[in-house]
């Protein structure tokens, strides 16, 4: 199954490579229209939108979802395209902003955490490490299912210079990458429960968020550079690196972990507000206990 899937996906990517960018975007928008008509995770998207932007009218919400599904259709098509010479796409259709932040962070010699979100096309951002900065990337992610698909994706990414760090070897892979002064990619917009999560505000709701980035930033002193890759109106990608986030330290280690985690999640929230249509609204970000935090608390660990 692995070889059949790899061959098929490469063929699909090969044919998509011949489409002019305007046609590609049009086909992607059509795919998004189909997903919307099929009500692909529609209830999840509506529920998320109600939590994040409760002031939208019904008509405004419908227009928002129409645009969101259109962007998602283009993203799905680009994911298929990524199985065939994706580095050429990144080099041809990407513009970089704030590259000096990455160069300065890499120059520290401690490796770099690149913090991002499921916004725009995160595969473009990931590929920019080895493609544009000539630095290997270790992407922290979950094992994909089924196993043959995980293998297909892993092999394709490895050809780009991207390694996938999954349980149970996540920590070992991260520390090895930092020791080699490489880039470690982390997304901060996924729900995480106990025992490695903390409830911190996201659009005003305390929601479980992973704490390992804060823990490792405190432990290794490796810089945390926020970065996104978002689609521009002309179809090109803007790969933007923001200034490194200062690691907050406190005598109380647990408090320091919570403060840094809250800082990271707040930054991702700002991105979603800036590019709302390009975030993955079909992802169940708000789960678990959403009750208010204790008075004066920035967050609380999930134990």
Angle CA 154–156–160, to nearest 5: 105
Of the listed ranges 37-46, 166-175, 211-220, the one predicted with least confidence: 166-175
Picking from 7, 162, 143, 194, the residue whose alpha carbon sits closest to that of residue 87 is: 162
Residue 246, sorted as left (phi over 0), alpha (psi -120 to 50) or beta, turns out to be: beta
Give 108's pLDDT tier (boundaries 50, 70, 90). Answer: very high
| Beta carbons of 214 and 255 less than 8 angstroms apart | no
pLDDT at 169 over 90: no
- Tally Cβ neighbours within 10 Å of residue 6: 18
* Residue 230, pLDDT score: 98
pLDDT at 1 over 90: no
* DSSP string over 31-44: HHHHHHHTTTTHHH
pLDDT tens-digit readout, 111-131? 999 999 999 999 999 999 999
Give 303's pLDDT tier (boundaries 50, 70, 90). Answer: confident
Q: What does the chain come to in residues?
A: 303
pLDDT at 149 over 90: no
* Residue 7, pLDDT score: 87
Give 101's pLDDT tier (boundaries 50, 70, 90). Answer: very high
**What is residue 91's DSSP assignment?**
H
- In this prediction the pTM is 0.94
* Residue 152, pLDDT score: 87
Domain locations in the chain as residue ranges:
2-289
* Residue 267, pLDDT score: 98
Helix, strand, coil percentages for the chain (3-state, nearest 5):
50, 20, 30
* Residue 119, pLDDT score: 97
- Tally Cβ neighbours within 10 Å of residue 84: 18
* Residue 54, pLDDT score: 96
* Residue 194, pLDDT score: 92
Q: Is the peptide bond before 146 cis (omega within 30 degrees of 0)?
A: yes
* Residue 3, pLDDT score: 79
Give 20's pLDDT tier (boundaries 50, 70, 90). Answer: very high
Mean pLDDT to the nearest integer, 152-163? 89
Provide, rounded to the nearest whole percent, the portion of the chain with pLDDT above 70. Answer: 100
Cα 44–chain centre separation: 18
Mean pLDDT to the nearest integer, 239-263? 97
């Amino acid at each position: 199954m692995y070889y059949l899937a790899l061959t098929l996906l490469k063929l699909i990517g090969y044919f998509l490579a011949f489409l002019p960018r305007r046609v590609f975007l049009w086909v992607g928008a059509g795919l998004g229209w189909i997903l919307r008509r099929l009500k692909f995770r529609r209830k999840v998207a509506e529920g998320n939108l109600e939590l994040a932007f409760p002031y939208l009218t019904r008509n405004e919400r419908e227009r928002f979802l129409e645009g969101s599904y259109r962007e998602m259709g283009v993203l799905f098509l680009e994911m298929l395209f990524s199985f065939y010479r994706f580095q050429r796409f990144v080099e041809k259709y990407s513009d970089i902003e704030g590259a000096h932040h990455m160069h300065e962070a890499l120059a520290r010699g401690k490796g770099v955490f690149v913090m991002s979100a499921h916004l725009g096309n995160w595969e473009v951002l990931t590929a920019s490490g080895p493609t544009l900065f000539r630095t290997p990337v270790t992407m922290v992610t979950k094992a994909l299912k089924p196993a043959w698909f995980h293998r297909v994706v892993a092999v394709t990414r490895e050809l780009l210079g991207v390694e996938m760090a999954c349980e149970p070897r996540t920590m070992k892979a991260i520390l090895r990458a930092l020791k080699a002064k490489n880039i470690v990619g982390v997304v901060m917009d996924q729900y995480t429960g106990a025992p490695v999560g903390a409830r911190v505000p996201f659009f005003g709701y305390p929601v479980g968020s992973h704490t390992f980035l804060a823990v490792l930033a405190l432990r290794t002193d490796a810089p945390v550079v926020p970065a996104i890759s978002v689609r521009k109106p002309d179809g090109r990608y803007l790969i933007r690196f923001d200034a490194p986030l200062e690691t907050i330290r406190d005598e109380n280690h647990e408090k320091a972990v919570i403060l840094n985690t809250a800082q990271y999640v707040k930054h991702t929230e700002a991105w979603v507000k800036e590019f709302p249509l390009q975030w993955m609204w079909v992802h169940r970000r708000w789960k678990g206990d959403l009750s208010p935090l204790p008075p004066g608390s920035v967050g609380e660990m999930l134990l």
